[in-house]
Structure 1
Amino acid sequence: MMKKYFTYILLLGFPLFGSQSRVAGQSGYQQSWKLLEHENELLAFDADIQLSESEKILDQKLFQLRKQLLTDTEKQKISLFNSSFNEIKPLIESSKLFSVIQEMPKGGLLHTHSGGVTDIKWLITAARKYKECYVYDHEDHDQFIFGQLAFFEKGKVPEGFVSLDQKLVSNPDFEKKLQELLTLKRDRLCNYTDYWIEFEKRFKRISLLLPYRPFFKEYYLKGFQDLVKDKVQHVEIRFIFDELYDFQHGKYPLKTSITDLQDVLKEVHKTDPRFSLQLIYSSFKFFDPQNIDKQLDIAFKLKKEFPDMISGFDLVADEAAGNSIYSFQESWTKLNGLAKKYGVEMPLFLHAGESNSVFNKNVLDLALLNNQRIGHGLNLVYFPKAMELIKKQDKLVEVSPVSNQILGYVSDMRNHPARVLLSNGVQCSINSDDPSVYGYEGLSYDFWVAFVYWELDVKALKKLVFNSVNYSSLNENKKREAVAYLNRQWDDFIRKTNRELN
């Protein structure tokens, strides 16, 4: 009998013991997996955000909207992940998700450029109303390029320029051609073109247009009104200062740009008193250090006179073609002396890492300088120690997803380097860079792209939105007011959207 029981134990007992051992092993594995998942979540940039019950409800609704969007595009054979922004722009605009994001308060737009903020179609229509507006309709040469717009006094029009209005009357199709010349589109991701050369041509075509003082005011009023409509409450522009002019008084001092923008703000405040603006004095990477020293001196003078308008200093232009940030090291060492001389601080907001190359090491400088925010920072992921320092220093990376694709730094948006930055706790904000040049207005398109391609949730959206105010250049009092206002706007958005998506 004992032998019989022993046989049962061999047949049934050992497997049972083995099963218990496997269950214990699986439990340990599961616990370790959960712990690792939690530890990764604690490293993320939005780990400090706790959602309310209403926000959690909206999170589920937006998750379903994105899931439905992906299902619909798959059924329609739309290659969402292998398409350029220009190809899917109509899809974005027709989506329910886009209408939701349009209503979402955006906080601040911390990275955009003078000459890149206002709708191109409007620009052509507005410029056409001026009898003194001309367009160059000859082939490119050293001084002017085809499609370049400018204002001239009658009798002083250079050869090759014709009246814009008369050109459009005689050839209505030229308006569409001009729109194409003023916007940069990537029709297919596989196009091979030097996009920076084409990009800079877009700015050159309006470079003689914006300094005309009457048009300058119109241009920025329209641009700010569009941003307000898209729920943006604060803007910081990388601003290239130029002497404004008109034909009655000639050229005006540099500071006229600031006083005129203050007048434009007063006009905006009639309908939206919360809207605020600051300018980041910008010069060019292709200048030599002596020229940059002069530019810094001018920037300090303007900041001393307009401390609430001038927020800092930047260098712009193609990083692959311009000088490195390191090459201006002597200029950076003079900042403290200039601060003492003028009695104001000049934070840096330098472009860096707008590159796919590990040989571009501009991000290393930003970990060592008084640089509060980083423009683009795409290749920061190649420099882990610099990334760690920037995280510890609590510096913000200004991310512009649509711009990054159009200029050729990212093809499949799912592979955008910002996803690595966010997962590793580097603080970021969403920006549009030069939306008018890319054929859109506002900030909603960039948020849509980030939400869909980066698989974000409401917690991430909220952090990105509030980062744009918390890392702005507003003084502490104005920042507190802006955050309080944004909180109210955000709560209203959550309630309204939950109600509408029932």
Structure 2
Amino acid sequence: MMKKYLIYISLLGAPLFWGQNKVTETSAYQQNWKLSEKENAAMAFDADIKLSEAEMVLDKKIFQVRKQFLSETEAKKISLYNSSFYEIRPLIEGSKLYEVLQNMPKGGLLHTHSGGITEVQWIISAARKYNECYVYDQKDNDQFIFGQLAFFEKGKVPNGFVSLDKKLNTNPDFEKQLQDLLTLKRDHLCSYTDYWIEFEKRFKRINLLLPYRPFFKEYYLKGFQDLIKDKVQHVEIRYIFEELYDFQHGKYPLKTSITDLQDILKEIHQSDPQFTLKLIYSSFKFLDNESIGKQLETAFEMKKEFPDMISGFDLVADEAAGHNINFFEKNWTKLNELNKKYGVEMPLFLHAGESNSALNKNVLDVALLNNKRIGHGLNLIYFPKTMEQIRKQNKLVEVSPISNQVLGYVSDMRNHPARVLLSNGVQCSISSDDPSVYGYTGLSYDFWVALVYWELDVKALKKLVFNSINYSSLNENEKKKAVTYLNLQWNDFVQKTNQKLN
């Protein structure tokens, strides 16, 4: 009988014994899983950030706000991931997350363009106040396109142009039409448009406005005020230099745009002394070597005279249509010679990899050149060796999420290449590129997109914000002041947002 009991006990006890072994195995598996998780996190771009207790509290609160937002959109069957920015913009503006991000200090806007920072509605209303402002209301021709704005002296108005103010008075509906002509929208992700052709048309419609000196001053004053309102303290503009003019004095020297911008900054500093500006002298990828050589000489001359305003050099335009970066090899090899000649350094801030194609190899060049930051860098993920070089060289990628979607490089924002860059330790900042052309101002929308679609936490947000100052072209003294100010603003934001989200 006892023998029978022992058999039962051994049989019944076996599962318990096997279960204990299984627990031990699972524990070892979980340990390895945790180790893998930790090792991956250690590679991320924000691995060096340590949050304070208040920041950790805010992190949990923002996580819950985001979670609730996603639950509500799902309950309402809103197609969040298959919608364009324009389709969900009202949803963004009505969200608690957007309110939080509007109040978040953004640091610097490191990637934007002359002619792309001030809202379209303001451009129209400000331009129509000038009697000398006209709009082209005929079909496109080789010289002008429908909706193109310009200033002309009386009696020297080309055929096809009519007074903007009179046009809007006699046809009030034209204002909405003109707004649409100045704004590039990707209303539906699946619709086809030649976005770069349309994008360049938006700039052509205002490129005769900006050199008019009275309007130029108004435009940039308003642009800087818009950025400050959105908690941006520093901006770097890819600036296309051209001579300003008015009808009393004719054309002014090229440097007048810099001295006028300095005067505008003085006015801004009366209320916002922390705001700073740098200009990246920019030319076009479709020009030849000789032309770019001349542009580089001019850039050096300007930087020598205004070392605190000119920070570097870039080439802009559609990468699929212009020359590759290595086409200009002769120009890049002369940089050291020019550095010595003018006594100033001219680092590069080149657009590279604004493309979905692995055939576009511009990112290879930026790893070999004195290139401080990379504009867009979307296809960097296709070149793993170069991506690792960029990480080791500590070069920053300027990421513009909404611009990338509008121009057709990304549809579902969850699949944005920046997520790969961030997880692989490549430093990035958030920019808006040409917000005016895309129908908005500031940086809050781009941060919202990044937060929601890329599942960012407060640690990542903080790193992105501080990157925009730490990788800016401010000099060391300016940078120190900017970081001190940003720290104060950030801590104030954390405290106030924690109170609001109680």
TM-score by length of 2: 0.99
**Partner residue in 2 for 1:125:** 125
**Partner residue in 1 for 2:361:** 361
**Partner residue in 1 for 2:259:** 259
Q: CA deviation at 1:65?
A: 1.0
Q: CA deviation at 1:10?
A: 3.9
**Partner residue in 2 for 1:388:** 388
2:299 equivalent to 1:299: yes
Deviates more, 1:386-395 or 1:73-82: 73-82
2:155 equivalent to 1:165: no
Report matched runs for 1:325-474 at 5 Å. Answer: 325-474=325-474
Deviations 1:208-251 (A, max 9, x none): 00000000000000000000000000000000001100011111
**C-alpha distance in 2, partners of 1:254/1:99?**
41
Q: CA deviation at 1:60?
A: 1.0
**Partner residue in 2 for 1:247:** 247
**Partner residue in 2 for 1:11:** 11
**Partner residue in 2 for 1:492:** 492
**Partner residue in 1 for 2:186:** 186
**Partner residue in 1 for 2:33:** 33
**C-alpha distance in 2, partners of 1:400/1:253?**
33
**C-alpha distance in 2, partners of 1:389/1:123?**
42
Report matched runs for 1:60-209 at 5 Å. Answer: 60-209=60-209
**C-alpha distance in 2, partners of 1:145/1:75?**
46
Q: Aligned letter for 1:123?
A: I
Name the SS of the counterpart of 2:467 in structure 1.
helix
**C-alpha distance in 2, partners of 1:391/1:279?**
25
Name the SS of the counterpart of 1:68 in structure 2.
helix
**C-alpha distance in 1, partners of 2:267/2:102?**
23
Residues paired across the two proteins, number: 502
Q: Aligned letter for 1:277?
A: L
Deviations 1:278-302 (A, max 9, x none): 0000000000111111110000000
Deviations 1:469-497 (A, max 9, x none): 00000001110111011000000000111
Q: Aligned letter for 1:360?
A: N
**C-alpha distance in 2, partners of 1:396/1:158?**
46
**C-alpha distance in 2, partners of 1:239/1:10?**
83
**C-alpha distance in 2, partners of 1:58/1:78?**
27
Q: CA deviation at 1:18?
A: 1.4
**Partner residue in 1 for 2:232:** 232
Cα RMSD, aligned residues only: 0.8
Q: CA deviation at 1:73?
A: 1.2
**C-alpha distance in 1, partners of 2:398/2:9?**
67
Q: CA deviation at 1:16?
A: 2.5
**C-alpha distance in 2, partners of 1:23/1:484?**
51
Q: CA deviation at 1:31?
A: 0.2
Deviates more, 1:376-385 or 1:60-69: 60-69
**C-alpha distance in 2, partners of 1:201/1:275?**
31
Name the SS of the counterpart of 2:278 in structure 1.
strand
**C-alpha distance in 1, partners of 2:207/2:234?**
25
Name the SS of the counterpart of 1:312 in structure 2.
strand
Q: CA deviation at 1:458?
A: 0.4
Deviations 1:426-462 (A, max 9, x none): 0000000000000001110000000001000000000
Q: CA deviation at 1:13?
A: 3.2
Q: Aligned letter for 1:217?
A: K
Deviations 1:386-438 (A, max 9, x none): 00000000000000000000000000000000000000000000000000000
Q: Aligned letter for 2:177?
A: K
**C-alpha distance in 1, partners of 2:453/2:292?**
39
**C-alpha distance in 2, partners of 1:496/1:23?**
46
Q: Aligned letter for 1:422?
A: L
Name the SS of the counterpart of 1:23 in structure 2.
helix
Q: CA deviation at 1:2?
A: 6.3
Q: Aligned letter for 1:492?
A: D
**Partner residue in 1 for 2:480:** 480
Deviates more, 1:237-246 or 1:12-21: 12-21
Name the SS of the counterpart of 2:266 in structure 1.
helix
Q: CA deviation at 1:9?
A: 4.9
**C-alpha distance in 2, partners of 1:364/1:335?**
18
Deviations 1:252-307 (A, max 9, x none): 11111100000110111111000000000000000011111111000000000000
Q: CA deviation at 1:76?
A: 1.9
2:59 equivalent to 1:59: yes
**C-alpha distance in 2, partners of 1:137/1:23?**
77
Name the SS of the counterpart of 2:398 in structure 1.
strand
**C-alpha distance in 2, partners of 1:500/1:245?**
49
List alignment gaps of at least 5 residues for structure 1.
Answer: none
Percent pairwise identity: 78
**C-alpha distance in 2, partners of 1:209/1:324?**
30
Q: Aligned letter for 1:76?
A: K
Q: CA deviation at 1:5?
A: 5.0
**C-alpha distance in 2, partners of 1:202/1:99?**
30
Q: Aligned letter for 2:439?
A: G
Q: CA deviation at 1:69?
A: 1.0
Q: Aligned letter for 1:57?
A: V
Name the SS of the counterpart of 1:81 in structure 2.
coil
**C-alpha distance in 1, partners of 2:82/2:368?**
38
Q: CA deviation at 1:68?
A: 1.3
Deviations 1:1-52 (A, max 9, x none): 5643552354123322211211111000000000000000000000000111
**C-alpha distance in 2, partners of 1:488/1:172?**
47
**C-alpha distance in 2, partners of 1:193/1:495?**
45
Q: CA deviation at 1:359?
A: 0.1
Report matched runs for 1:305-316 at 5 Å. Answer: 305-316=305-316
